[in-house]
A and B are shown apart, each in its own frame.
Chain A
Amino acid sequence: LAKTTQPISMDSYEGQEVNITCSHNNIATNDYITWYQQFPSQGPRFIIQGYKTKVTNEVASLFIPADRKSSTLSLPRVSLSDTAVYYCLVDDSGGYQKVTFGTGTKLQVIP
């Protein structure tokens, strides 16, 4: 399983764009990059997944450079409700999902 490294915490003001970078130097050819969001007292929720280049959905964008050794989750114009822990996962799991959640990045959005 490829190990991931991400900042422990980040602060941002409301309305700003937030970029959270995840390092995964040992990513394997078949690995995908997936981000989850967890609010206090709730289970994690899938945000976005990608393999290379850029992926965008209604919630976030995911930027993956050509070497795939890192990835950046971009949250546009955050609000207070985006305060949560964000987890970066890297795995292919061979068809079943035995994956590892690290400690994640705690994002605090400030009014």
Chain B
Amino acid sequence: NAGVTQTPKFQVLKTGQSMTLQCAQDMNHNSMYWYRQDPGMGLRLIYYSASEGTTDKGEVPNGYNVSRLNKREFSLRLESAAPSQTSVYFCASSEVQTGTLGFSEQYFGPGTRLTVT
């Protein structure tokens, strides 16, 4: 199993350009997440998808859109990149049973390092 994979690993954009970050998981997980991590900071949730066909905003959704393409894939799109979006982006997935209490382990991808100039 590859776990959670992300493409690309690195990307440099000019201000105003658009791009899509791809994420896929092969663990048959229901829930998927996108986080950003700025230097020296913790992770902040951008968007999440509790299950296939649903998406919802996290802590810092402005400037981003997401698509849960199918159960395996969850993409993050920057429509018009800004220097403030320079960050490392992590995708994660977890298996959650609706109505189950407790925290299910999240599995993270290796990250995409994005620089916007």
- Residues of A whose CB lies within 8 Å of any CB of B are 30, 32, 34, 36, 41-46, 49, 51, 87, 89, 91-104
Residues of the B chain whose Cβ atoms lie less than 8 Å from the Cβ of A45: 108
Closest A residue by C-beta to B99: A95
- Min CB distance, A49 to chain B, in Å? 6
Whether a CB of chain A sits under 8 angstroms from the CB of B74 is no
Neighbouring A residues of B35 by C-beta, 8 Å: 101
* Cβ 8 A contact of B41, one of A91, A99, A103: A103
Judging by beta carbons under 8 Å apart, are A101 and B42 in contact? Answer: yes
Given the interface pairs A95-B99, A96-B31, the reply to whether A43 lies near B110 with Cβ below 8 Å is yes
> Which partner residue on chain A sits nearest B111 by CB separation?
A43
Tell me which residues across on chain B come within 8 A of A93, comparing CB atoms.
Answer: 103
- Interface contacts (Cβ under 8 Å), in number, total 78
Chain A interface mostly: loop
Tell me the bound Cα distance from A104 to B48 in angstroms: 21
Query: Of B96, B103, B106, which is within 8 A of A32 by CB?
Result: B103
Given A49-B103, A101-B44, A96 and B109 contact (CB-CB distance below 8 Å)? no
What is the interface residue range for chain B against chain A? 20 to 34
Assembled-state Cα–Cα distance A30/B58 (Å): 21
Assembled-state Cα–Cα distance A89/B35 (Å):
15
Query: Within 8 Å CB of B40, what residues of A?
Result: 103
CA distance A89 to B94 in the complex (A): 15
> What residues of B have a CB within 8 angstroms of the CB of A94 in the complex?
101
**Nearest CB in chain B to that of A45: its residue:** B108
When the two chains form their complex, are residues B45 and A44 in contact, meaning their CB atoms are under 8 A apart? no
B108 adjacent to A32 (CB under 8 Å): no
Chain A, residue nearest B105 (CB):
A46
User: Which residues on B sit within 8 Å (CB–CB) of A87?
Assistant: 42-43
Are B103 and A44 interface neighbours, CB within 8 A?
no
Most chain A beta carbons < 10 A, residue from B42, B59, B100: B42
